[in-house]
Chains A and B, each alone.
Chain A
Amino acid sequence: MPTIRFRLNGSDTAIDAASDQTLLAALRGTLGLTGSHFGCGANECGACYVMVDGHALASCDMPLWSMAGKEVTTVEGLGTPEHPHPLQRAFIAEQAMQCGYCVPGILISAAALLQRRPSPTETEIREALDRNLCRCGSQNRMVRAVLRAASEMAAP
């Protein structure tokens, strides 16, 4: 089994993996990081999104070997209760979910958006989240949360 080395949530990581193992399976299985969720296995719902070199990408159909040398951030790497990411604070403040199963992927998409575009318009936020599905109908709350986080991050 080849060893794949990459940066995961700021730490050097090396794991042995079967050639066809997906990034999501490695995260949830070998690495025990269950924050990224399985939703469809076909890059259609966004529940498994992780940030790879600044881009929000599906991990459910991403071969692990393709991560070699990349910088990967999962929802666990965004922030902690002690040091929350502004998006995590904003999602709590706006009560931006119902069931919350889609939330890790949406936080990742929003975090990637705010990295490349710190003050997005509402339309840009919606477009950035269009590949993430939310079945409970919490879209508007989530958009408000992203706007709140953006304005907090922009504040001096």
Chain B
Amino acid sequence: MSTSPPAPQLPPSLAANPGLSSWVKFTPDGRVAISPGKVEIGQGIVTALAQIAADELDVDIGRIAMIRASTPASPNEGVTSGSLSIQQSGRALRQVCAEVRRLFLAAASERLGVEASTLDVDDGTMSGPGNVRTSYWELASEVSLDCSATAEAVAKPAAARRVAGQSIQRIDIPDKVFARPRFIHNTPLANMLHGRVLRPEVSDAKLVALDEAATRAVGGFVAIVRDGSFAGVVSETEDGAEAALKALRKGATWSAGETLPDEDDLAAFLKGQPVETRVIDTKTAAAPKQVARTIRRQYTRPYIAHASIAPSCAMAQWEGNLVHVWTHSQGVYMLRADLAIVLKLPVESITVEHMEGAGCYGHNAADDVALDAVLLARAAGGRPVRVQWSRHDEMSLAPFGAAMAVEIEADLDAHSEIVGWRHAIWSNGHTARPGRAAQPALLAATELARPYPRLISSDPPVANGGGSDRNSVPLYDLPAWTIETHRLLTMPIRTSALRTLGAQGNVFAIESMFDEIASILGEDPVQFRLRHLRDERAKDVIRAVAARAKWKLEKKAGIGYGLGFARYKSTGAYCAAIAEIEGEEDIRVKRLTLAVDVGEAINPDGVINQIEGGAIQATSWVLKERVRFDRTRITSTSWTDYPILTFSEAPAVDVEVIERPDIAPVGAGEAAHGPVTAAIANAVFDCLGIRVRDLPITRERLIAAMELAS
């Protein structure tokens, strides 16, 4: 019996969407239309994907037209999240374009009568010996792309790439600088109406009675839509919709809501709920060592708001039983699946089309507002309805990043070396995205007369990077450990995916504990980490950041330095950060130095931009951010109640990208948050000699930690 060599493998995103024509089309105007399933959320993905396509096809990047994702035309690449777009869409597109190029070269060879291997491709024109030439566009009618990828074509080697690897300018930025409509907020449809939805102030209150008379008298009034506790207005104008909503609010009577946890004792709440416990990983020492003492520490982070700078917005239009939705959702197919459940329609009746929104940083209200628009548009007589949330609703009703309590016990031997490690997490699940469950995840679905229950957040499997457990297994070489997570089965405060899921909390905990043990040993934190790592890429980012920050600078009064490190999801980007802080009554982060390794950097400036932005956003989380609530309602409903880092407070950020063009690329968007969080906390200790283990590190927390230490 003979064995054949293993068949070449397609990248997973391509295996799921193998039709070449769903990704690439040559259009008669001499351009190339590229249709990824991933969407632009301000991270520069469409530019990076255009670079990959331009390179593999050998066309000028100016010829690439990036098509916005929509059902049913685009490949279904799930959701744009988890720093996976380069990894999934980028690898798929590279393979697609290599296959397309190969098909066209074969056709050109036949037409021109020369060997395919003698043909050069330059900006889409193929030329060969004897000055023969043709182009993708000349051949487009002869080469059918209505076929499946075969994995037989081989993409170019790294050294042959000319566009990928360059910091070319993002293709969306000129529109945004010159105010050409690009955001969904700025793209009105013809004959469009405006809608607003009435929501309770008190968490999960039910609409008991609604006096509609005053609302109906407001100028421009078109309709009131009421279905159980869901109520909204449709108006000819946006001002009219706002005025009608105000009137509707006055006419509404609500039931009492549900009780919220005690914000001042989140750890007690998280540890007191019914949970589902899972062991994430265990490791037993070959030769167990004597434990001389055990250090036990608890770390917490609060609920964190996505707090997109734009309120969520969507448009919807009904035509008979067909509905068209325009949305800034991160996953058009997933949103469609949830809409189909709520509307009791086949998915084929629903078209969901992406339009850019502001940065969302995870699962915010983008999907919720889409259902709002669909429900209101049913009363619009076939006209499109645009719905935009208020700042208040955006800050209080959109899902939050889950609060976490992390407990670490480190067993130390007589020499204070780590011989055992236990890491336990209490948290809600970190994702309740649409399209993944048998019930919808959308807010309005829980408000209808026949409501769906609120979808309790779950955690993605460990193989996908996990959720609350993300980055909980140390990359450090420790002899024994047990890592477990306790996922809450109740969810009085709505949570779903926020940038890094649980990684920020877990890296904060692990890196704080490591720093503390290094300090007990009197060992330099850089050396202590290097000594516990076997992975050379991990060591390289730590060495690089230490060299770049000139670690460790001379001790100065009032200044502290701290280090944080992680490999995002243990499979993604390596990132090390050093924070320089100034500490008196308040902590000021002066400078962050970071080193990052994402493998091949498709657009190095894009990587730096993501790392800079992640570092500054993480600083904001660490120093300022905390969703506030009393026992009945979310109270941080404005920028005054939920302050974020300002221009004057933003630290200097210096990033070094370690270039590895031969290693498959991974995303950069979430690599910095965990390391920066830990670096700041460790710098606070270096500066003030106190460990703050509860985020955010505010003046009150510093005082509380000082009191605890004394």
Contact = CB atoms under 8 A, between A and B. Distances in A.
Answer yes or no: do A and B interact: yes
Interface of A: 18, 21, 25, 28-29, 33-35, 37-42, 44-45, 47, 74-76, 79-81, 84, 88, 91-92, 95, 97-104, 107, 123, 125-127, 129-130, 132-143
Most chain A Cβ neighbours within 10 Å, of B309, B358, B361, B650: B309
Given A34-B186, A42-B391, A137-B650, A98 B609 contact: yes
B174 A98 contact: no
A38 B357 CA distance: 12
B284 to A, nearest CB: 42
B3 interface: no
A93 B234 CA distance: 43
Contact of A44 (B310, B311, B361, B638): B638
Contacts of B613: 98, 136-138
A45 B639 contact: yes
Contacts of B647: 125-127, 129-130, 132, 134, 139, 142-143
Contacts of B638: 40, 42, 44
Contacts of B172: 100
Contact of B644 (A75, A101, A135): A135
A141 B653 CA distance: 10
Contacts of B237: 29
Contact of A139 (B169, B186, B650): B650
Contact of A98 (B42, B186, B239, B391): B42
B178 A135 contact: no
A153 B173 CA distance: 22
Main SS class of interface, A: loop
A37 B181 CA distance: 11
A27 B170 CA distance: 28
A100 B311 contact: no
Contacts of B609: 95, 98, 138, 141
B179 A92 contact: no
Contact of B616 (A29, A123, A129, A137): A137
Interface in B307-348: 307-311
B519 to A, nearest CB: 30
Contact of B309 (A21, A45, A76, A142): A45
A139 B616 contact: yes
Contacts of B664: none
B169 A80 contact: no
A143 B651 CA distance: 12
B388 interface: yes
B186 A39 contact: no
Interface in B189-245: 237-239
Contacts of B239: 18, 21, 25, 29
A97 B646 CA distance: 15
A25 B308 CA distance: 21
B391 A41 contact: yes
Contacts of A95: 169-170, 173, 605, 609
27 contacts: A18-B239, A39-B391, A42-B391, A44-B391, A47-B309, A74-B179, A81-B178, A88-B178, A92-B174, A95-B609, A98-B42, A98-B609, A100-B173, A101-B308, A104-B179, A123-B648, A125-B647, A127-B648, A133-B309, A134-B309, A136-B42, A136-B617, A137-B617, A137-B645, A137-B650, A139-B616, A140-B616
B241 to A, nearest CB: 11
A47 B358 CA distance: 11
Given A38-B310, A101-B310, 9 more contacts: A45-B309, A98-B359, A107-B177, A133-B639, A135-B644, A137-B612, A137-B614, A137-B620, A141-B612
Contacts of A40: 391, 638-639
Interface string B609-649: 11011111100100000000000000000111000111110
A156 to B, nearest CB: 25
B684 interface: no
A44 B359 contact: no
Nearest to B313: A38
A95 B176 CA distance: 11
Given A137-B614, A138-B612, A99 B238 contact: no
A25 B241 CA distance: 12
B173 A37 contact: no
Contacts of A101: 42, 183, 308-310, 357-359
A73 B130 CA distance: 60
Nearest to A32: B188
B396 interface: no
A82 B56 CA distance: 32
A118 B186 CA distance: 32
Most chain B Cβ neighbours within 10 Å, of A74, A125, A137: A137
B677 interface: no
B177 A92 contact: yes
Contact of B185 (A37, A98, A103, A141): A37
A1 to B, nearest CB: 11
A133 B359 contact: no
Contacts of A88: 177-178
A135 B639 contact: no
Nearest to A26: B239
B311 A39 contact: yes
A135 B358 contact: yes
Nearest to A46: B309
B310 A98 contact: no
Given A134-B309, A141-B609, A100 B42 contact: yes
A97 B173 contact: yes
Nearest to B238: A29
Contacts of B135: none
Nearest to A33: B179
A140 B309 contact: no
A126 B514 CA distance: 36
B689 to A, nearest CB: 29
Nearest to A105: B309
Contacts of A139: 616, 645, 647, 650
